[in-house]
């Protein structure tokens, strides 16, 4: 299996984290999947991803003190593999794991994803659990010095045959369940280890091997960022997507900063290889964090975010509770012209970038379409121009379509100019 074929375009979907934090349950997942199937699927949205701690009992019982309860009760099988919390995911009782839920998602024509922390549960190591199909025990493969800096559940797995056997047993289980996508956390940047932030690189390789071994095309997504540019070649070899920033939320500062990360990673988007700008905190978010709210992004900022993610080629994962999606937000997610840039056939290129503005172009090598993005990063309305020479030497007088407003445009003397509101953008297609 060539992992670059698992996701021939940047994955689009929904993720439970931004709205539910650790608390999502089966019914809620299904409701979001239903909405996606009914309203978004036709635009390319297809993944439904259950995020962190689906294996924890009453994970929010101490939410005022801890996001993840230290030494809390986790659902775990005899081989040290985490299982869905039966209370929140009743269909998993009887030892069926996520299979019933995955079946349901598949029945809607969608794909099913789960989040995992790299490693093996600390509890399994301290209890000397068996590793399936081997005669070793968990304490022999767990590295007590390899922990996550923010979640207390796991120990890293050693780079040994027995360690690989554990990951094989894990991925085989997921394949049996019907998982199509795993978001592995604490692995892309093990930020606890300030001097060795890629300390789990062997676990990336082991998970890749386990996917190959299980014979199911499971998309591999790595978190958290920022990924290290020095490791781009390694990420491209073993993973499908990897986070290029730390957690992204609905703050202009973070959005503005994303332009710097896209600047750095622009050459690294290709089929099956997607630098990941993180989830889209749109619509209603934050309930599980005890801060339910409409996204704090203005409409201008939301356009800018969608445009940058699409021009750059990032995966799109919705953080919104879909069942509460308003009409305007829905329109943002279903702009076919904007979404048409989201393909590895499009080659993005930053033309200019400073504190005040960013200019990007994107060229579809297949359709020969050309796109231009003018972003106003400043705090005031601004006239922003791009010279057609930066795109193609000969074209001077061109007609363009602005893809949000659907207005037609002309370049004058080889220069495309727009007056843009603060934090807003214009995205043109050359006609």
Query: What is the binding site for its own copies (CB under 8 A)?
Result: 2, 70-71, 122-123, 125-126, 128, 139, 142-145, 147, 149-150, 152, 194-195, 229-230, 232-233, 237, 263-264, 266-268, 349-351, 353, 393
Could you identify the residue written with the tokens 């990336």?
A: 204
Phi, psi of 14 (to 5 degrees): -130, 145
Least distance to its own copies from the beta carbon of 267, Å? 4
Cα Rg of the chain (Å, integer) = 22
Instruction: Between 152 and 422, name the residue whose CB sits nearer to its own copies.
Output: 152
Instruction: Between 2 and 78, name the residue whose CB sits nearer to its own copies.
Output: 2
Instruction: Between 233 and 328, name the residue whose CB sits nearer to its own copies.
Output: 233
Tell me the DSSP string of 63-106. Answer: TTT-SS-TT--B-B-TTS-B---TTT-GGGGGGTTTHHHHHHHH
Least distance to its own copies from the beta carbon of 333, Å? 29
SS3 143: strand
Contacts of 332 (CB under 8 A, 6+ apart): 282, 302, 303, 306
Phi, psi of 426 (to 5 degrees): -125, 135
Least distance to its own copies from the beta carbon of 194, Å? 5
Run of H or E residues at 14: strand 12-15
Instruction: Between 126 and 290, name the residue whose CB sits nearer to its own copies.
Output: 126
d(CA 10, CA 44): 10
Instruction: Between 54 and 265, name the residue whose CB sits nearer to its own copies.
Output: 265
Least distance to its own copies from the beta carbon of 190, Å? 13
Least distance to its own copies from the beta carbon of 239, Å? 16
Phi, psi of 386 (to 5 degrees): -135, 140
Contacts of 355 (CB under 8 A, 6+ apart): 377, 378
Instruction: Between 85 and 143, name the residue whose CB sits nearer to its own copies.
Output: 143
Least distance to its own copies from the beta carbon of 403, Å? 24
- Name the burial class of residue 160, with classes exposed (0-12), middle (13-18) and buried (19+) by CB atoms within 10 angstroms of its CB: middle
Instruction: Between 27 and 161, name the residue whose CB sits nearer to its own copies.
Output: 161
Least distance to its own copies from the beta carbon of 237, Å? 8
d(CA 91, CA 103): 11
Least distance to its own copies from the beta carbon of 270, Å? 9
Instruction: Between 30 and 347, name the residue whose CB sits nearer to its own copies.
Output: 347
Phi, psi of 47 (to 5 degrees): -90, 140
Instruction: Between 229 and 401, name the residue whose CB sits nearer to its own copies.
Output: 229
Contacts of 195 (CB under 8 A, 6+ apart): none
Least distance to its own copies from the beta carbon of 390, Å? 9
Least distance to its own copies from the beta carbon of 112, Å? 27
Determine how many CB atoms are found less than 10 A away from the CB of residue 161. 10
Run of H or E residues at 211: helix 201-214
Instruction: Between 2 and 291, name the residue whose CB sits nearer to its own copies.
Output: 2
3-state helix, strand, coil in the chain (%, to 5): 35, 25, 45
């Amino acid at each position: 299996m060539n992992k670059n074929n698992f996701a021939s375009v940047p994955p689009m979907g929904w993720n439970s984290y931004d709205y539910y934090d650790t608390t999502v349950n089966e019914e809620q997942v299904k409701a979001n999947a239903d909405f996606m199937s009914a309203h978004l699927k036709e635009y390319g949205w297809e993944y439904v991803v259950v995020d962190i701690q689906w294996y924890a009992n009453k994970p929010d019982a101490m939410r005022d003190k801890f996001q993840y309860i230290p030494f809390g009760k986790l659902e775990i099988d005899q081989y040290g593999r985490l299982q869905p919390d039966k209370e929140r995911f009743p269909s998993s009782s009887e030892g069926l794991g996520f299979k019933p839920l995955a079946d349901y998602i598949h029945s809607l024509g969608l794909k099913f994803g789960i989040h995992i922390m790299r490693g093996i549960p600390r509890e399994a190591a301290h209890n000397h659990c068996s590793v399936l199909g081997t005669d070793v025990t968990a304490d022999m493969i767990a590295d007590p010095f390899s922990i996550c800096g923010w979640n207390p559940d796991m120990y890293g797995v050693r780079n040994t045959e027995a360690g690989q056997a554990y990951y094989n047993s894990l991925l085989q289980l997921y394949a049996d369940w019907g998982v199509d996508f795993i978001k592995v956390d604490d692995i892309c940047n093990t930020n606890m280890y300030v001097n060795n932030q890629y300390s789990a690189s062997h676990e990336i390789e082991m998970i890749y091997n386990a996917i190959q071994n299980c014979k199911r095309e499971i998309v591999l997504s790595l978190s958290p960022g920022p990924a290290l540019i020095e490791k781009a070649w390694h990420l491209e070899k073993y993973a499908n997507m990897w986070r290029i920033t730390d957690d992204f939320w609905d703050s202009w500062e973070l959005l503005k900063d994303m332009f710097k990360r896209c600047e750095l990673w622009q050459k690294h988007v290709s089929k099956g290889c997607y630098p990941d700008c993180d989830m889209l905190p749109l619509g209603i978010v934050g309930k599980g964090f005890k801060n339910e709210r409409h996204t704090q992004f203005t409409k201008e900022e939301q356009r800018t975010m969608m445009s940058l993610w699409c021009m750059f080629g990032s995966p799109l994962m919705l953080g919104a509770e879909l069942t509460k999606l308003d009409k305007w937000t829905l329109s943002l997610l279903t702009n076919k012209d904007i979404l048409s840039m989201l393909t590895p056939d499009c080659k993005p290129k930053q033309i200019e970038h400073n504190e005040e503005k960013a200019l990007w172009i994107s060229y579809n090598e297949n359709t020969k379409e050309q796109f231009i993005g003018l972003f106003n990063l400043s705090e005031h309305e601004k006239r922003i121009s791009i010279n057609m020479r930066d795109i193609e030497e000969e074209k001077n007088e061109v007609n363009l379509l602005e893809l949000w407003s659907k207005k037609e445009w002309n370049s004058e003397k080889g220069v495309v100019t727009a007056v843009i509101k603060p934090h807003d953008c214009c995205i043109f297609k050359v006609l």
